[in-house]
Structure 1
Amino acid sequence: MSLKTNSEYGARPRIWFAFYQLLWHLLLPLAIIRLAWCARHAFSYLHHIPERLGFGYKKPIYQGSIWIHAVSVGETRAAQPLIEAYLARGESILLTHMTLNGRRTGKQLFAQAIANGQIRQVYLPYDLCWPVENFLNTFKPQFGLFMETEAWPTAVFRGKEIRLPLFLVNARLSERSARRVNQFGKAGRALFQAFAGVLAQTEFDAQRYRSLGVENIQIVGNIKFDVPLDPDLVAQGKMWRQDLQVNKRLMVCASSTRDGEEAIILKAWNDLLMSNAFENPPLLCVVPRHPERFAEVAEQISSIGLKFRRRSEWTSTPSDCINLEVVLGDSMGEMPMYYSASDLVLMGGSLLPFGGQNLIEACAAGCPVLLGEHTYNFQQAALDALQAGAAQRIHGDVILGEPIVLMEVLKELLSNASELAKMSVAAKTYSVEHQGATERILIALDQQIKSWA
């Protein structure tokens, strides 16, 4: 693959791209070593390594599929309504991931379509010229859809050079990310300008893409509102909640927590229990964002002296919740169960400056949400939920040794049954009213592909 700038299509900037390729070649051995290191916990990390280098694909190879790139778990779940819509049309899907958990999630969600050959799962190769070229030559997709924030320079620039239309779908761009892109000057902006189109979640996102010089932008809403909750998991969660209600206990789910947040939450929870504010003490369910931190969080819970049990230690709902103070949600793909069992969700990633995590799924389960100050990754969704009364913001310093701020907010809200009920109704309404992005995306893509041809 040439490193020349393609003047006709305005492709990759030559000097910047040459440096990018050199850096990738230097880091490639470290990427393989990292997979081997992760394999200590799950040998599956070493599966399909040739795919990460752009070869070794199992036959038969189906060309001409719609290529959807969903890097990890969140993007794979978000893509579900879109994938199902294309499957209903009789299309075949090439579904690519970058992470093991993303691939596992896709395999779980689309098991039947994978079995009958409608969906082919592979890893997107590392973003080097030769793996990307071989990947594209092997599969020859109709067009490509990159979910949310994914923009790999080699794949995107090469797509434009060979006139393969690539779209950024359900696109979001935080103010911080936009600043980072602009730090790369023309090279950074050229990357997003190389997409055939950007289908943005909100006007906020669209404005930031426009600031990068992207012209073909449409606002379609957030497809995550269209993602259905697994009915079996919802049923399990409701059974768990019934068990809690028999004992007149409330449950708070600290969802998708990040490093440093668990310490704040656990200290606040311990203080809440020590305050004796409740005749029947509430239960906390902590669900860390990253599975590799499950053991670390278990140690934190144990060290603070709270009685807890791991989700992995039971097969249905815990029979001894009455004796527990904390449940560690050390499982993947079960958030609908945790949300359906909960009376309140404390959204991880928002207490410390990680940008927040997706609150839409919690609202779809009718669960009120508590947000910290840091929600820039889901700016519009957070603002809309706050305005709708589905969420509340925690104001005050929860970082510098002051988890009492969080404790007081939890105590006030858990003591107010009528407010929780009101927020629950608002959460469900908010979720339903924002649905419909999938249909808008399909219409927009149909028009774009037609005009591209």
Structure 2
Amino acid sequence: MKPSAGRMAIVMPETLPITLRAYRRLSSSLTPMVPLLMKRRLRKGKEDPERIDERRGIAAIERPAGPLVWVHGASVGEVLAAATLIERLRASNMRILLTSGTVTSAAIIAKRFPPDIIHQYIPYDSPRYVARFLDHWHPSLALFIESDLWPNLILSAAKRRLPMALINARMSQRSFPRWQKFSKTISALLGSFEICLAQSDTDAKRFSVLGARSVLVTGNLKFDVQAPPGDAAKLDALKAATRGRPIVVASSTHPGEEEIILETHKALTNFFPSLLTVIVPRHAHRGEAIAEMVQANGLRVTMRSRGEAPSADVYVADTMGELGLFYRLTPVVFMGGSLVPHGGQNPIEPAKLGAAIVHGPHVFNFTDVYDALDRAGGARQANSSEQLVKLLGQMLGDRAARDISIDAAAQVVTRLGGGLDRTLHALEPYLMQLRFEMGGHHA
């Protein structure tokens, strides 16, 4: 797609704010140090040794012929938020290049997306690597999910007049004041996007203040994402192994939360002696450390990564891509990332799969979603350990209250859906141009 000269505000190097000029110089001068960084990340399991060249913009896959839509998300949450959008684009015969930055996201993409979706790791934000990436893939349209804003990537793409849209855009209450201190920097980056599709009115106002152009509220794509899958045979096996036991799933937990969950488990066993607590850590590699913590607390533990059954007090589900199983198994979910100031995790998936939701006070990454759920009674907030015990106990012990909460959550998710259609409608002028090009390409 070749936009007309007036359609995109190209920020020329000489007009860049001093912060971005300094960033470009620094990132360029540090490029020779990248192999050291790569080695360190490889040792920690944060890079895929088979695909490390992709981080330097070197592709092992040929670019397909015709228009190519490039979709970029930082990690698992962003990529899965765009799953239904990608599905719809693919259904209209668009070729998709999907980039992300984590090993976990690559594994989930391999598992959940069709093989004709091209996945690449996003290159490190060095001018040289970014140029190599853009030279090879030559995308026709770029869709950045939420707010993963790498300066060299964005400025280089803008300089090439690549039409870019920020979709499912979110600006947290924590990030907003930080960016306001660097208003010229963020304005130069956001001004490179032709359109900004925000999740909420609040997000839209923040992006407008920070310099985004053509800001529209389209809603949160996560409400339209299909519930995560759950293998029927594995689910039957889990149900057979846990039959008759009350179950609480602590989902996507972060360091500092497991200790509180274990104390909560002990308190709840006074009322539910056969209680099973399933801990699904946000990062599966923490499984061993969590299992040791459980034993140190005098509780019996089994681990899913070892192929063990949930036969103990606590089951550590330290595998990837199996949350759908555990949301289907349990009537009650505690959403992690919310007892510590991480910002919370996405509660839409358990809401879609019929689990009552309890969360802590730190949910600033999903403020609007949790507000809507809390107001409707579809989720409950615990501000202390005592409240956590009380709320989980209520949800476990009172079937009627639990069913009311589950029903309220399902209604909220349905009501707040529609972001996918609104996003596609806003992108239609760009997609129409691509369809025109595709017609020309096939002619």
* TM-score, L = length of structure 1: 0.87
Aligned to 1:250: 246
Aligned partner of 1:277 among 263, 271, 278:
271
Residues 253, 287 of structure 1: 8 Å contact kept: yes
Partner-residue secondary structure (3-state), 1:151: coil
Give the stretch that moved more between structures: 223-232 or 192-201: 223-232
Is structure 2 residue 183 aligned with structure 1 residue 185? yes
The match for 1:264 is 260
User: 3-state SS of the aligned residue for 2:139?
Assistant: coil
Q: Does the Cα contact within 8 Å between 2:338 and 2:362 map onto a contact in 1?
A: yes
Q: Does 1:356 align with 2:354?
A: no
Structure 1 contact 193–215 (Cα < 8 Å) conserved: yes
Change over 3 Å in CA distance of 1:232–1:56 after alignment to 2: closer
Which residue, out of 168, 172, 175, partners 1:174? 172
Q: CA deviation at 1:53?
A: 1.1
Moved more, 186-195 or 340-349: 186-195
Note the C-alpha offset of 1:107.
1.4
Aligned partners of 1:233, 1:63: CA distance in 2, in Å? Answer: 37
TM-superposed CA distance for 1:28, in Å, is 4.9
Write out aligned runs for 1:16-415 (5 A): 16-25=19-28, 28=31, 32-40=35-43, 42=45, 45-59=48-62, 62=65, 64-110=67-113, 113-114=114-115, 118-233=116-231, 236-237=234-235, 240-241=238-239, 244=242, 246-247=243-244, 249-273=245-269, 276-278=270-272, 280-314=273-307, 318=309, 321=310, 323-396=311-384, 403-415=385-397
C-alpha change, 1:11 and 1:429, in structure 2 (3 Å) is farther
Query: Which consecutive residues of structure 1, in runs of 5 or more, have no partner in the other structure?
Result: 1-6, 397-402
Shift of 1:36: 2.9
**How far apart are the structure 2 equivalents of 1:40 and 1:226?**
37
User: Which string of whole-angstrom CA distances, capped at 9 and with x for unpartnered residues, describes residues 160-211 of structure 1?
Assistant: 2222111111111111111111122311222112211111111111111112
| Pairwise CA distance, 1:407 | 2.2
1:61-95 Cα deviation digits (max 9, x unpaired): 54631000122111121111011101110110011
Do the aligned residues in 2 keep the contact of 1:36 with 1:46 (CA within 8 Å)? no
Q: CA RMSD in A?
A: 2.5
Mapped to 1, the partners of 2:323 and 2:356 lie a distance apart of: 14
- How many angstroms apart in 2 are the aligned matches of 1:300 and 1:28? 40
Q: In the alignment, which residue of structure 1 is the partner of 2:425?
A: 443
Residues 229-274 of structure 1: per-residue CA shift (max 9 Å, x gap): 2444367446634653x42x2211111111111111112212322x
Deviation at 1:427, TM superposition (A): 2.1
Distance 2:204 2:256 in 1: 32
User: Structure 1 residues 253 and 208 mapped into 2: Cα distance closer, same or farther (>3 Å)?
Assistant: same
1:24-75 deviations in whole A, cap 9, x for unaligned?
A: 3465566544543443465962222222112243335546310001221111
The one-letter amino acid of 2:220's match is N
Structure 2-normalised TM-score?
A: 0.89
Q: Tell me the amino acid that sits aligned with residue 196 of structure 1.
A: E
Q: Matches of 2:106 and 2:191 in 1, distance apart?
A: 29
Gaps of 5+ in 2: 1-7, 437-443
C-alpha change, 1:55 and 1:309, in structure 2 (3 Å) is: same
CA deviations 1:202-225 (Å, max 9, x no partner) are: 111111111212231111111112
AA aligned to 1:127 is: D
Partner Cα separation in structure 2 for residue 237 and residue 437 of structure 1: 31
Asked if the contact 1:35–1:46 (Cα under 8 Å) also holds between the matched residues in 2, the reply is: no
Following superposition, the deviation at residue 325 of structure 1 comes to 1.1
Distance 1:232 1:353 in 2: 30
- CA distance, structure 2, for counterparts of residue 27 and residue 285 of structure 1: 44
Residue 47 of structure 1: SS of its match in structure 2?
Answer: helix
CA distance in 2, matches of 1:189, 1:44: 32
Indicate how the Cα distance of structure 1 residues 337 and 26 shifts in structure 2: closer, same or farther if over 3 A, else same. Answer: farther
**Alignment CA distance shift 1:30-1:349 (3 Å):** farther
8 Å CA contact retained: 2:190, 2:213? no
Give 1:400's aligned residue: none
Measured in 1, the distance between the counterparts of 2:316 and 2:31 equals 35
CA gap 1:87/1:66 in 2 versus in 1, 3 angstroms: same
Q: Is the 8 A contact 1:167 1:199 kept in 2?
A: yes
Which amino acid letter does the alignment assign opposite residue 169 of structure 2? A
Q: Distance in 2 between matches of 1:238 and 1:369?
A: 23
Residues 54, 176 of structure 1: CA spacing in aligned structure 2 closer, same or farther, 3 A cutoff?
same
Aligned residues: 426
Give the aligned partner of residue 399 of structure 1. Answer: none
Cα gap change, 1:36/1:15 in structure 2, threshold over 3 Å: closer, same or farther? same
Rounded Cα–Cα distance in structure 2 between residues aligned with 1:330 and 1:100: 15
Identity within the alignment, % = 32
Aligned in 2, Cα 1:185/1:254: closer, same or farther, shift over 3 Å?
A: same
